[in-house]
Amino acid sequence: MLTSSDIIDQSSRVADYVVTFAEAQERALSSEDSLALIRRIAEEMT
């Protein structure tokens, strides 16, 4: 659990969260790409 005191007291942890969030944003699909993937998988399942 992340509390406000953790944020203040543990700047290295916050830096790790920032890096992790940035990496997740880079790897995330756009809404359009997500829908295309869902449609493709749905077609493969039928």
> For 4-40, how does the pLDDT look when each residue is reduced to its tens digit (9 = 90+)?
776 666 788 788 899 999 999 999 999 999 999 999 9
- pTM of the predicted protein model: 0.53
pLDDT at 10: 76
**Measured torsion, CA atoms of residues 37, 38, 40, 45, in degrees rounded to the nearest 10:** 140
pLDDT at 15: 86
Whole-angstrom CA distances from 8 to 1, 20, 24 are 14, 18, 23
- Sorted by where each begins, the domain ranges of the chain are 4-45
| Residue type (1 letter), 36 | A
